[in-house]
Amino acid sequence: MEPDAVLFDLDDTLCRYRRSGASLLVTAFESTGLDPFVSSEEYYGRYPEFIDGSDSMVDLRERCFATIAAEKGYDPEDGRRIARAYADERDHRNVERVPGVDRVLSALSEVPVGVVTNGAPGMQAQKLDALGLADAFDVVVHAGYDAPAKPSPEPFDAALSAMSARAERSYHVGNSLRTDVAGANAAGLRSVWVPEGPGDRSPDPKPAHVLPELDRMPDVLSLE
Ligand SMILES: [Mg+2]
């Protein structure tokens, strides 16, 4: 079946930062001179607690680091300083394409394609430009800015409506069960989950398709 449209998440689906969060955190502690009171594993483990009620990644990270600082007997302001130093170090142009992006986009050359990302327009535009993908998509919806954040169905509805595509004949491809699969399912699209690593064998929520690698997406489309 020729789909009406194929939507993609951006971060960790189409692209990755070349520099790890662990490396940024080390530099943030060095530049502020503060004790390294939190590891990147701990930060990544805790940050989902702060997604609700944060209006941006910067705000989320400040709240997360401030909370961890306070729990460990440091001044919460030290946490906020680390969050700001981390943000200052992050270069949104220092990104690379996930393997398979070129194959997928060329296989979809006749199909409308879009991006539905939970990310600020200025930040995501820098990434798309650095990746050479600034003109590769028919629509880019910045969920959390142009519409409510994923997993709300609204940003998916907005992308489909801009492309005059029907949800039941469209796909959304993403790495997150919580935002991409849940949101695409809620909007009535066919969700395609590309897990990082081996992934959960019985994922919840359940995606319509699980792809071990992004470059298998053309196989999914020819199945139906
Ligand atoms: Mg992602």
The answer on 121 and 62 residing in a single domain is no
Helix (H, G, I), strand (E, B) or coil at 71: helix
Task: Tell the residue number behind the tokens 């590891």, with chain if given.
Answer: 39
Q: Could you tell me the distance, in angstroms and rounded to a whole number, from the CA of residue 96 to the centre of ligand 1?
A: 14
Last residue of a domain, one of 47, 67, 89: 89
Last residue of a domain, one of 69, 89, 109: 89
Task: Check residue 44 and give its pLDDT.
Answer: 87
Cβ–Cβ < 8 Å for 8, 173: yes
Task: Tell the residue number behind the tokens 């994923």, with chain if given.
Answer: 150
The answer on 59 and 118 residing in a single domain is no
Range of the domain at 53: 21-89
Adjacent-strand bridge partners of 114? 7, 139
Task: Check residue 223 and give its pLDDT.
Answer: 54
- What is d(CA 44, CA 15) in angstroms, rounded to the nearest whole number? 18
- What is d(CA 151, CA 185) in angstroms, rounded to the nearest whole number? 9
Residues with CB under 5 A from ligand 1 (ion): 9, 11-13, 175
- What is d(CA 218, CA 10) in angstroms, rounded to the nearest whole number? 18
- What is d(CA 211, CA 223) in angstroms, rounded to the nearest whole number? 13
The answer on 70 and 46 residing in a single domain is yes
How many domains is the chain partitioned into structurally? 2
The answer on 50 and 9 residing in a single domain is no
Angle at 118 between CA 32 and CA 6, to 5 degrees: 145
The answer on 171 and 74 residing in a single domain is no
- Across the chain, which has 224 residues, the per-10-residue mean pLDDT values are 93 95 95 96 88 78 96 97 95 96 93 93 95 97 89 97 97 94 98 86 93 89 66
Q: Could you tell me the distance, in angstroms and rounded to a whole number, from the CA of residue 115 to the centre of ligand 1?
A: 11
Q: Could you tell me the distance, in angstroms and rounded to a whole number, from the CA of residue 152 to the centre of ligand 1?
A: 15
Q: Could you tell me the distance, in angstroms and rounded to a whole number, from the CA of residue 10 to the centre of ligand 1?
A: 6
**Which pTM value belongs to this model?**
0.87
What CATH number did the domain enclosing 136 receive? 3.40.50.1000
- The alpha-helical segments, DSSP class H, found in the chain are 21-32, 40-46, 57-71, 76-89, 101-107, 121-130, 154-162, 182-187, 217-223
The answer on 151 and 178 residing in a single domain is yes
Last residue of a domain, one of 33, 62, 89: 89
Question: Tokens representing 180?
Answer: 């991409």
Task: Check residue 112 and give its pLDDT.
Answer: 97
Q: Could you tell me the distance, in angstroms and rounded to a whole number, from the CA of residue 196 to the centre of ligand 1?
A: 10
Task: Check residue 131 and give its pLDDT.
Answer: 98
The answer on 99 and 74 residing in a single domain is no
